Amino acid sequence: MTGKYFGTDGVRGRVGRSPMTVDFALRLASAAARVLAPAGGRVVIGKDTRVSGYMFESALEAGFVAAGVDVMLIGPLPTPGVAYMTQRLGCSFGVVISASHNPYEDNGIKFFDAMGSKLSDELEQRIERLLDGPVVTQESQHLGRATRIDERRTQYQEFCASTIPAGADLKGYKIVIDCANGAGYKVAPRVLADLGAEIVPIGCSPNGRNINDGCGSMAPELLQLTVPGVRAQVGLALDGDGDRVVMVDALGRSVDGDQLLYILATARQSAGDLKGPVVGTVMSNLGLEHAFAQRGIEFRRAQVGDRYVLAMLNEAGGTLGGETSGHILCLDKTTTGDGLISALQVLAVMRQTGAGLAELAAAMPKYPQVLLNVRVERKFDPMAEPSVQKAAALVERRFNGRGRIVLRASGTEPVIRVMVEGYDAALVKNGAREIAAVVEAAARGQ
């Protein structure tokens, strides 16, 4: 479900434009309070490091307090940290102010229920139905209270560290950690250091405007240069809100979410701990599917978006899934995608096996894959356009059954994603460019 305001990951957009305005945030808080805590309750609010986060934090605080909900302000904390603290603190629901991997000009607001899980479609629809109504203000005796609880983030740090095997540590590892100048800049380096690793931090100096700017999981080039430059064994890069991770081996080569998912799944299989199928998405590399088949691991594909991966895991009784972007779900450890916890699981496999990241990732072959983002003014279904259908069919015939094409509108950005994958790198590259050009023309109405 994609509603009028809610997309695949909460409400998101350019700050100052609808819906990311102060008055909308106030109305959203009032509506959410009536749906998620109708008899009063408690909410924890976390955020990333965008300069606009302060503004939206204040607006949400006002709306919740006016509706009779107590507010706990925990400051900058990764999205999965807010999910964990929602449950840990016994809150009725949790809120994160973040636009994840988007540039600082954007921001977003997303919710967790009392169990630290993302809201159901039905709850989002109920909130949307109240958004056009007036903001509720209770009488003084029924107003909520607001409290800052920044020091409680250490509870999330302790939880992250507890997800690796008892007695395990990271002593002897030199790790470069890139926090994208985002929400993980305080907790992630501290967790790794507390576990005994030698830390080289980059992307840990946010100024409100440099989140995801040439750093983090969306731009790991600096990490790839730094890891071999400082002779570290491994590097990891989070995105702006800390729910994604990509890793870098000792030679500076990137290891994406598909490869990390393969490492975790095969380690769990070897230990007898793998439950149900592993779930990826339509964008997951074909090499991952083939590698799992060789190991006898069932693999399923969901729509793009961690909520769809989660839904399929719950339906099938699985505990491990993820996306190529590095948004990995380890449901045997936590309730939502957590970049730091996912990285810790991989580091634990490295420690247990004595293998380097490159060796662990090498067992999964990767088909050449190109992903192009075509920016558009209006969202549309690319495969409903005859010109796009024709171009995609033409490219697909060239692969002769040994390639895939996926076209879809992003749920979080005004772009059409064009993914082409196949056995021949040149065919993949040229095919992606051809289809992207046709999509761009269709978007302009040509």
The two tokens of residue 409 are: 């509108």
Helix residue ranges per DSSP H, 166-240: 187-194, 221-229
Q: How wide is the angle at C-alpha 371 spanned by C-alphas 394 and 412, nearest 5°? A: 120
pTM of the prediction? 0.89
Cβ–Cβ < 8 Å for 235, 202:
no
* Residues 78, 80, 81, 82, Cα dihedral to 10°: 100
Q: Which helix (H) or strand (E) holds 387?
A: helix 386-399
- What domains sit in the chain, N to C, each tagged with a CATH number? 11-149 (3.40.120.10), 156-254 (3.40.120.10), 256-338 (3.40.120.10), 369-443 (3.30.310.50)
What pLDDT was estimated at residue 444? 84
Q: 269: buried, middle or exposed (CB in 10 Å: 19+, 13-18, 0-12)?
A: middle
Give, as one character, the DSSP assignment of residue 295. Answer: H
Smallest Cα–Cα separation from 28: which of 59, 58, 7, 4? 59
Q: What is the pLDDT along the chain (446 residues), one digit of tens a residue?
A: 457 899 878 999 999 999 999 999 999 999 999 999 999 999 999 999 999 999 999 999 999 999 999 999 999 999 999 999 999 999 999 999 999 999 999 999 999 999 999 899 999 999 999 999 999 999 999 999 999 999 999 999 999 999 999 989 999 999 999 999 999 999 999 999 999 999 999 999 999 999 999 999 999 999 999 999 999 999 999 999 999 999 999 999 999 999 999 999 999 999 999 999 999 999 899 899 989 999 999 999 999 888 899 999 999 999 999 999 999 999 999 999 999 999 999 999 999 999 999 999 999 999 999 999 999 887 788 888 999 999 999 999 998 888 889 998 887 778 999 999 998 999 999 999 999 999 999 888 75
117 is a catalytic site residue: no
Which strands form 403-409's sheet, in the order they lie side by side?
369-375, 415-422, 403-409
Give dist(CA 210, CA 212) in Å, integer: 6
- State how far the alpha carbon of 188 is from the alpha carbons of 185, 297, 312, 343, 402, in Å: 6, 31, 29, 10, 41
Predicted local confidence at residue 1, as pLDDT: 47
SS3 call for 37: coil
State which H helix or E strand residue 315 sits in: helix 306-316
Compute the C-alpha angle 441/443/446, nearest 5°: 45
Given the residues 30, 100, 254, 284, select the one marked as catalytic.
Answer: 100
Give me the pLDDT at residue 156, please: 98
Token digits of residue 230: 């400082």
Give me the pLDDT at residue 124, please: 95
Residue 182, φ and ψ in degrees, nearest 5:
-120, -155
Residues 334, 319: Cα–Cα separation, whole Å: 10
* Nearest in space to 213 (alpha carbons), one of 103, 64, 378: 103
Three-class SS state of 207: coil
Q: For residues 335 and 115, what is the distance between their CA atoms, to the nearest angstrom?
A: 8
